[in-house]
Amino acid sequence: MLDNQKDNDISSIISDDFSYEDINFFDLEKPILEKFLYSMLLIRSCEYKIAEAKKEGLIKGPVHLGVGQEAIAVGIAQNLIKTDRVFGAHRSHSHLLSINQNIHALFAEVLGKVTGFSKGMGGSMHLSNPEKGFYGSVPIVTGTVPLALGAGLAAKLQNSGDIAVAYLGDGATEEGVFHECLNFAKISNTPILFVIENNLFSSHMHISLRQPEETTIRFAKANNIKCELVNGNDVNSIYRVSSSCIEEMRKRPEPFLIEAITYRWFGHVDWREDIDVGVSRSKDDIANWKKKDPIKLLKEAMIHNSYWSISEQESLEDKIQKEITSAWSKAMNDPYPSKDDLLQNVYE
Ligand SMILES: Cc1ncc(C[n+]2csc(CCOP(=O)(O)OP(=O)(O)O)c2C)c(N)n1
Ligand SMILES: [Mg+2]
């Protein structure tokens, strides 16, 4: 756990000049690093494809893109098993793709096709794939956190060793139910991992205009929940921190909170970088954060540390582009649900 002085100092976690030289490999070997890079690149390429299609008017519903934030879900997912119970929110493409790389099902979902993750009924903000451990995402901010808590408590009562994961944003910590969940998680020793993706914004509003500190980890401390503040743009660090806490949680059920500092490149919703809802943000900020791109950092660090060559990377990028093109054209050709399907998933 970090000491109090550093707790609200974002620059001590990810400084302005953070570079590939600061990436720690711990004892990670080439296959796992390749896996990280593949997953992050796949998620990003997928979201760029969705951005392009949204711009062209091919996607009807809103899309909340997490470009720039890929390292968090990828680092955490490496420690999860199929029977864990993961919950997302409105910006959850990465949360689902990090545990199931079926990009065709995501494309089909945002296009409203029957082959989508939620049979084309949900769109980008209602993703569901319980067979792989992804129990759902919804646009109601913080709405899934109490559901994750219930799923974690069930795992404890079933003595299964499984854990629940609740992904939420910095803005979601401003909802009262989050605090009730922290309290109950602690008092009931529920194995739930709260993952706060602190991208510094809630819609258009910077955290400094909304909270007394730029980090939110103090909420875990107030509830005696073990916690760690990490650089959300460093997949190796996220993997390492989550691996040790998840191992502990499986042995002895208890909650844990990870706050990952990151930044999203696009505006709150849809594909534009330079605008947000209402208030614009500085283009310099975006440029500075792009220098700390989690994918670029890992690529550069791997090359400089001779984990692999530029040509190996290029062939990985080619492979991903081919996967994107083929999954997209398959999804475009898939059918829409029929009218008879409309009430199939409605609870009465
Ligand atoms: C209960 C509720 N209040 C407000 C909204 C509108 N809203 C949608 S996303 C969002 C911002 C959430 O910010 P954060 O949790 O930091 O997630 P981020 O968008 O940064 O990923 C808001 C206020 C909502 N969907 N639900
Ligand atoms: Mg946010």
Domains and CATH numbers, the chain: 4-12+34-332 (3.40.50.970)
Report whether pLDDT(5) > 60: no
172: Cβ below 6 Å to ligand 1? yes
**Rounded average pLDDT over 84-95:** 98
Residue 100: which of 122, 81, 119, 121 has the closest Cα?
A: 81
Residue pair 75/237 in contact by the 8 Å Cβ criterion: yes
Give per-residue pLDDT as tens, 217-259. Answer: 999 999 999 999 999 999 999 999 999 999 999 999 999 999 9
Kind of pairing between the strands at 205-206 and 201-202: antiparallel
CA of 325 to the centre of ligand 2 (A): 30
Task: Output the pLDDT for position 347.
Answer: 78
CA of 119 to the centre of ligand 2 (A): 28
Which sign, positive or negative, has the C-alpha torsion 271, 273, 274, 279? positive
Task: Output the pLDDT for position 236.
Answer: 98
Burial of 16 (0-12, 13-18, 19+ CB in 10 A): exposed
Runs of H (alpha helix) within the chain: 4-7, 10-13, 30-55, 70-77, 93-97, 103-110, 145-157, 176-187, 218-222, 235-251, 283-291, 294-304, 310-333
Residue nearest to atom 25 of ligand 1 (CA): 140
**Amino acid (one-letter) located at 98:** S
263: Cβ below 6 Å to ligand 1? no
246: Cβ below 6 Å to ligand 1? no
Instruction: Pick the ligand that lies closest to the CA of residue 168.
Output: 1
Give per-residue pLDDT as tens, 331-345. Answer: 999 999 999 888 888
Question: Where does residue 57 fall: left (phi above 0), alpha (psi -120 to 50 degrees), or beta otherwise?
Answer: left
Give per-residue pLDDT as tens, 92-135. Answer: 999 999 999 999 999 999 999 999 999 999 999 999 999 999 99
Give per-residue pLDDT as tens, 251-310. Answer: 999 999 999 999 999 989 998 876 655 456 777 888 899 999 999 999 999 999 999 899
Residue pair 94/40 in contact by the 8 Å Cβ criterion: no
Read off the pLDDT band of 1 (50, 70, 90).
very low
Residue pair 149/190 in contact by the 8 Å Cβ criterion: yes
Task: Output the pLDDT for position 279.
Answer: 58
Task: Output the pLDDT for position 2.
Answer: 43
234: Cβ below 6 Å to ligand 1? no
65: Cβ below 6 Å to ligand 1? no
**Rounded average pLDDT over 177-193:** 98
Kind of pairing between the strands at 134-137 and 85-88: parallel
102: Cβ below 6 Å to ligand 1? no
Report whether pLDDT(4) > 60: no
Higher confidence at residue 210 or residue 272?
A: 210
**Looking up tokens 């299964």, which residue turns up?**
160
Task: Tokens for 188, please give them.
Answer: 């009931």
| Range of weakest confidence among 40-44, 165-169, 281-285 | 281-285
Read off the pLDDT band of 64 (50, 70, 90).
very high
Mean predicted lDDT score pLDDT of the chain: 94
140: Cβ below 6 Å to ligand 1? yes
Task: Output the pLDDT for position 272.
Answer: 85
**Rounded average pLDDT over 9-23:** 92
CA of 210 to the centre of ligand 1 (A): 13
Read off the pLDDT band of 63 (50, 70, 90).
very high
**Rounded average pLDDT over 3-28:** 84
Task: Output the pLDDT for position 69.
Answer: 98
**Rounded average pLDDT over 32-53:** 98
| Range of weakest confidence among 33-42, 58-67, 154-163, 305-314 | 305-314
Distance from CA of residue 204 to its chain's centroid?
A: 19
Rg (CA), the chain: 19
In angstroms, the CA 50 to CA 58 distance is 9
Residue nearest to atom 7 of ligand 1 (CA): 141
Q: Describe the crossing of helices 294-304 and 30-55 by its angle, rounded to 10 degrees.
A: 150
Q: How close are the terminal C-alpha atoms of the chain, in Å?
A: 47
